[in-house]
Structure 1
Amino acid sequence: MNKNILWGIILILLITNGFTLNAMQKYKNSAMETTGSNISGNQHENRIIATVGDKKIYYSDLMSQLENNYGMNMLKNLINHEVVFQLADKENITISDQEIEREMNFLKGIASDNFDNTPTVNEEDWKKEIEYSLLLDELLTKDVVISETELEAYYEENKQLYNLPSSYHLAKIVVSSLEEASSVIKELNNGSEFNALAMERSIDVFSASQGGNVGYVSENSDYVPPEYIEQVKNMNVGTWSRQPFKTEEGFVILFLQDAVEGKNYTFSEVKDQIRRQMALQQTEGNYSPENLWSELGVEVLY
């Protein structure tokens, strides 16, 4: 499977699967904190969380919908993670912090090449899901043997995949006049939050609804005007462009949320990654953590 396609699939799973579970748990924890620890389970379930005219919507209605729509998938997700981490521990399989960081940088590059807008997510969640994915790869391919010669040949034939361009996580505010852009920069200098101003002032509707978030953009990306890259190369992470610049969209102020320096990875640095990738091609059709359930005697009672 092409590396870009593989990581594109992983990115989609990260966004739509693992983070959904976290969001559900965070919502439930927040709701419990709001209602207080002295409230009984039934009282909590019967709490009104919205009204539409005379119609009341209860917390139990929301939980029922979430359970019906996502319950089984989320249960499988929990089981899969537990199975993979338990088996990896049993087999003494570990993934180094350096490898997780490298794969995360690759993932950011893939995000910029495949999506117009990358959701803003907690990096610890990214890292945990990357660790899970790599451990799963190792478990599913641990018995596949590939020679050093084959690995080196693959690297030489696909060197461009391991030449990572610099990428930048951007947010932007677009306004229609230089005067308004100067006003926005003045507000930023006075302590206003960039995302709040983007939602309030930006005329780019799509990014404005995301607090100005553009996502990760590689230095050779076609998704943004070249002026973006020219500007951001001279910026520090956590800063905004001090002077607005004009594009076809209007006058733009950029905010640099993160930067990943480009790098050409050597064979030794990516050998394990190549081995997993080539081994997975030999197990096509069997890439499922549920294939590992029997090794720990999983029983679903739901």
Structure 2
Amino acid sequence: MKYGHSHNAQEPAQKKKLKTKPLLVLIVILFISNVFWFVGWLIPDKKSKQPDEEVASVAGDPITREQWMTAMENAVGRDVLRELVNNKVMETAAKKYGIEVSEKELELELALITSVDGRAYSGLDLEQIRQKIRSTIILEKVLSNDVVIDDSTVKSFYDENESLYTILTSYRTSIIVVNSKKEAERALDELSKGSSFDALAKELSIDLTSANLGGDIGYINADTETIDPAIYKAASQLSEGKIGDVVSLQNGTYAIVQVNEVIEGRKFTFNEVKEHIKRELTIEQLPQSVLPEAFWKEFDAKWFYGK
């Protein structure tokens, strides 16, 4: 089963380009964060563990914690550390250039990006999401600091692409998918007795992608065509923190739906999105994408992996 957001096929391609391209860096960073989160979930508390502790064995031949941790570092360690350094670099840049990121800017970007690709947030808590958005806004402000775009150009873009700034209500949703209605009813009963949705999803759900993230499928809305319609219908009838009844899916499986957060739909006015559009127009003019790594030398960033 697939989850995520599909754009309206009738929307002109040139109108979508400006909205999606500046978000590419953020989505990549968020994907790396998902990996980081998953690895963190896999690794138990190690304060009382010994490096040579046996974590698995095959035909009596042990696999030690040290071997496991080394393999983990080799697989994702470089990307995770790069993310931490990049966040620090962007915060340092904000101090140097006097850049501030307001609460309204964070909320605007959160609403706009969830309408583009709600899956990007799967597995991330709200604080992690806000940090990624903040870092991206800082980067865009640094890159657009010396570029002047007149208000008439910005207003023309807004008028031509007004639909991009009409946001549908989105639901941060988690699911547990099982093969039979009886299994779903048993899971629902366990939840009613206080069991953790996150833990049950990892234990029971047959949809492995969401199960690994505690059932989280990110934000969905009425335009999300790559999920079963029954999931959105159930989510749209729930308030934050609530769990719905058993839902029958088109492929013969059954799901339990939980809504963790609701972002109310609204239409953003020109004044609300003017600075956002200016930054995007500026980024579109750059000959190539600029990543936080471009500022490492300026802020004397160093890491374990050398240059």
Shorter-chain-normalised TM-score: which range?
0.7 to 0.9
Q: Distance in 2 between matches of 1:133 and 1:76?
A: 15
Percent of residue pairs bearing the same amino acid type:
27
Q: Distance in 1 between matches of 2:241 and 2:292?
A: 39
Q: Distance in 2 between matches of 1:184 and 1:13?
A: 34
Shift of 1:212: 3.5
Query: Do structure 1's residue 257 and structure 2's residue 252 form an aligned pair?
Result: no
Q: Distance in 2 between matches of 1:286 and 1:179?
A: 51
Query: Do structure 1's residue 4 and structure 2's residue 20 form an aligned pair?
Result: yes
1:89 paired residue among 88, 95, 100: 95
1:120 paired residue among 111, 120, 123: 123
| Higher normalized helix content (fraction of residues) | 1
Counterpart of 1:4, as a letter, is T
Q: What are the residue-to-residue correspondences of 1:1-302 with 2, within 5 Å?
A: 1-16=17-32, 18=33, 20=35, 30-31=45-46, 33-35=47-49, 45-112=51-118, 115=119, 119-175=122-178, 181-199=184-202, 202=205, 207-208=210-211, 210-242=213-245, 244-250=246-252, 251-285=254-288, 287-298=290-301, 302=306
Q: For 1:34, what is the secondary structure of its paired residue?
A: coil
Counterpart of 2:67, as a letter, is D
Shift of 1:2: 3.0
Shift of 1:267: 1.2
Q: Residues 152, 75 of structure 1: CA spacing in aligned structure 2 closer, same or farther, 3 A cutoff?
A: same
Counterpart of 2:28, as a letter, is I
Shift of 1:34: 2.6
Q: For 1:255, what is the secondary structure of its paired residue?
A: strand
Which structure has more relative contact order (CA 8 Å, sep 6+)? It is 2
Compute the TM-score of the two structures, normalised by the length of structure 1.
0.79
Moved segments of 4+, more than 6 Å: 22-29
Question: Does the 8 Å CA contact 1:174/1:202 hold for their aligned counterparts?
Answer: yes
Q: Residues 292, 198 of structure 1: CA spacing in aligned structure 2 closer, same or farther, 3 A cutoff?
A: closer
Q: Residues 200, 271 of structure 1: CA spacing in aligned structure 2 closer, same or farther, 3 A cutoff?
A: same
Q: Residues 69, 137 of structure 1: CA spacing in aligned structure 2 closer, same or farther, 3 A cutoff?
A: same
Counterpart of 1:254, as a letter, is V
- In the other structure, the counterpart of 1:41 is none
Q: Distance in 2 between matches of 1:144 and 1:297?
A: 26
Q: Residues 131, 207 of structure 1: CA spacing in aligned structure 2 closer, same or farther, 3 A cutoff?
A: closer
1:117-169 deviation per Cα after TM superposition (whole angstroms, max 9, x unaligned): 85221221111121111111111221111111111111111212211111112
Question: Does the 8 Å CA contact 1:45/1:60 hold for their aligned counterparts?
Answer: yes
1:195-221 deviation per Cα after TM superposition (whole angstroms, max 9, x unaligned): 444455555565455544333211222
Q: For 1:270, what is the secondary structure of its paired residue?
A: helix
Q: Residues 60, 249 of structure 1: CA spacing in aligned structure 2 closer, same or farther, 3 A cutoff?
A: same
Q: Residues 200, 50 of structure 1: CA spacing in aligned structure 2 closer, same or farther, 3 A cutoff?
A: closer
Q: Residues 290, 255 of structure 1: CA spacing in aligned structure 2 closer, same or farther, 3 A cutoff?
A: closer
Question: Does the 8 Å CA contact 2:38/2:212 hold for their aligned counterparts?
Answer: no
Q: Distance in 2 between matches of 1:58 and 1:270?
A: 53
- Could you tell me which runs of 5 or more consecutive residues in structure 2 were left unpaired when the two chains were aligned: 1-16
